[in-house]
A and B are shown apart, each in its own frame.
Chain A
Amino acid sequence: MDQVLFYALAAIAIISAVITIVARNAMYSVLSLVVTFFTLAGLYLLLNAEFVAVVHIIVYAGAIMVLFLFVVMMLNLNTTNSIVTNTTTNKVMAGLAGLAMAGILGYASWTTVLPAASNTAATDIGSVKVLGKMLFNEYLLPFELTSVLLIATMVGVIVLTKKEE
């Protein structure tokens, strides 16, 4: 059951990722990216990472994709006149670079001997309880620094988008 679910989710993720990058209309790109994110959330659930799955849906589908949709609609990018042409040379070079990257990474992962699974693997490592304890003990400083990052981002965005007087 899990096996079927994994391969189905993986296939949907790859297909919708490809649609994201080849769709002529920016709106289709955004919507297929949402599909990719939901399949990734399903994969996190398969890996017993409930907290990451829920946060992933809230942050990506709830916040980031809404931002993308908002910008696409505000700038009216879903019309045909926003289609940007690309030269054939660029396309070929991009495809070659992607194939080269896939080859290098594939070779690297093929020749790497992955470590055996930990026998003491607890099933609740993805629970809110375990992750919360970790976040507020070992990773307390990075956690607090993310709040600084977020406030700096917020100030930056407001300053950038403010119309000049």
Chain B
Amino acid sequence: MENIFNVVPLEHFVLLSLALFCIGMVGVLLRRNMIVVFMSIELMLNAVNLLAVAFSAHRGDSSGQVFVFFVMVVAAAEVALGLAILVMIYRNVKSVDINALKQLKW
């Protein structure tokens, strides 16, 4: 496969991952459903992964792809723990609304 950067500039990869990151951030702020908030966080992590892979391919340095590998490990661990906490919260308050946990503020 020929070099993708001959036909698509690196800036467009940056803009795509920027758009995905902002969509994820709006999702975290907008939604009250805990599971959708988690999915938005996944979206943000993936935007960063895409940026790392794009720069890695651009520079011809595979370190970026190794970092993506570590980010994926952390994301998998985060999701497993987060969903376990979510299930535990659901058992206690019978809701996945993040406003159900207002008492945590004090």
User: Are these two chains actual partners, yes or no?
Assistant: yes
Interface residues of A, Cβ cutoff 8 Å to B: 2-3, 6-7, 10, 13-14, 17-18, 20-21, 26, 29-30, 33, 36-37, 40, 43-44, 46-49, 51-52, 55-56, 59-60, 63-64, 67-68, 71-72, 74-75, 77, 82, 84-86, 90-91, 93-95, 97-98, 101-102, 105-106, 109, 114-115, 117-118, 120-123, 125-126, 130-131, 134-135, 138-139, 142, 146, 149-150, 153-154, 156-157, 160-161
Q: Give the CA-CA distance A30 to B40 in the complex, in Å.
A: 10
Number of interface residues of B (CB under 8 A): 73
Interface residues of B, Cβ cutoff 8 Å to A: 1-5, 7-8, 10-16, 18-27, 29-33, 35-36, 38-40, 42-43, 46, 49-50, 53-54, 56-63, 65-66, 68-70, 72-77, 79-81, 83-88, 90, 96-97, 99
State the majority secondary structure of interface residues on B.
Answer: helix
Q: CB distance A91 to B30 under 8 Å?
A: yes
